[in-house]
Structure 1
Amino acid sequence: MSKMDRRIRKSQEAMKTAVIELMIEKNFDQITIQDISDRADVSRRTIYLHYTDKFDLLDKLIEEHIDELRELCDSAGNDADYMEAVLLWFKYFESHYLFFSAMLASKGGSFFRNRFLEFFLQELKKKENDMPEGNNQGLTDGEDIDIQFLGAAIVGVMEWWFKNGKPHAPSFMAQRLGSLLERNLEADFPLA
């Protein structure tokens, strides 16, 4: 890559880090482009070269993490059990702690929470659709409620973990949450 590419990447990373750090300190609505510029040590013009506004910056940052989580799930494949899948999630959350704690434990994270929930709902529905007998069938009303319940429960556990400063290791969380998912999903939506 050229030096220009590295500088652009470095500037974008600085802007992303700045918005995350600022969200830990104050509500997203109170953050200005000038705040981001000052924290990232880039000009306002540089921010506008890459993003329409602070909402666009946040949206792209969220999408980046959701895409990476989706790739993790896809790379695990259908042979992974629930505990293996949840362990991948928690290791990812731990390695990106600053981002997820800002999004889930701060004021201003409701937009992210909705996107996060939608990600888990899609993953749960995908598991149901990957079943041989589930092909080309829509979810029944009851199954849709089950998936909504489990998706909200997963996000709730994630929020709890971040708000309480990661009280348990990712392996412990994977074992507990994986076990809960297995008990609640295995009969209706087996992974393999």
Structure 2
Amino acid sequence: MTNIDRRVLKTQASLKKAVIELMSIKKFDDITIQDIADQANVNRGTLYLHYHDKYDLLDKLIESHLNELDAMDQWACEMEWTDALVPYFEYFEANYLFFSTMLASKENKGAPSSFRTRLLASFMEGFKDEIDRESGKNNELNEDIMLQYAGKAYVGIIEWWIKNEMPFPPKVMAKQVGTLLERSL
């Protein structure tokens, strides 16, 4: 594995944080490179050293979060639903600004709506192996319909939780949502 300079990582983190902070107050299309550079306290050229443009920056930010969620899937699938979902809800809580900006703001069209689509696809892919065919409870149900149902319900409850400023702790959400998913899958 190549060693990346800590200054590079710090600059990239600052740029990612800046774009999310700006998106919480402005539409993505209205944010300029100069806005991002100013918010991150770097010059415009620094942004271009790391990213092609603001779309590349946002895409890399989204990809990093999706990769972290996918990494959780590797070990979470071995656990019971209610236990497996705790780290996810803790992750959503720890990254509240990102998720509140990307999921809860319907008026911020463009990039955030593509995030929701990508998040949904990621969850649906993860749910594929979780469908219970052994007990016979889902034998008459179409897999695509089940995945749409479970995926959209999961993303929808995350949106609700974030939009309402996380009215329940992650463990409560994990238990409630885990129970519901267990019943449906």
TM-score (norm 1): 0.85
| Structure 2 unaligned residues grouped into runs of 5+ | 135-139
SS at match of 1:167: coil
CA RMSD of aligned residues (A): 2.0
Partner of 1:67: 67
| TM-score, L = length of structure 2 | 0.88
| Separation in 2, partners of 1:132, 1:74 | 21
Name the one with the larger helix percent.
1
1:115 corresponding residue in structure 2: 118
In the alignment, the residues of structure 1 paired with residue 147 and residue 133 of structure 2 have an alpha-carbon distance, to the nearest angstrom, of 18
Alignment partners' CA distance in 2, 1:70 and 1:176: 22
Runs (4+) of structure 1 exceeding 6 A deviation are none
Q: Which residue does 1:31 correspond to in 2? A: 31
Contiguous gaps of at least 5 residues in structure 1: 134-139, 186-192
CA distance in 1, matches of 2:95, 2:184: 28
Q: CA deviation at 1:132?
A: 9.5
Percent identity reads 51
**Distance across 1 between alignment mates of 2:161 and 2:24:** 16
Report the CA distance between 1:98 and its aligned residue: 1.3
DSSP 3-state at the match of 1:25: coil
Structure 1 CA distance for aligned equivalents of residues 50 and 141 of structure 2: 43
Q: Counterpart in 2 of 1:166?
A: 166
Cα offset for 1:141? Answer: 7.8
The amino acid of 2:142's aligned partner reads: G
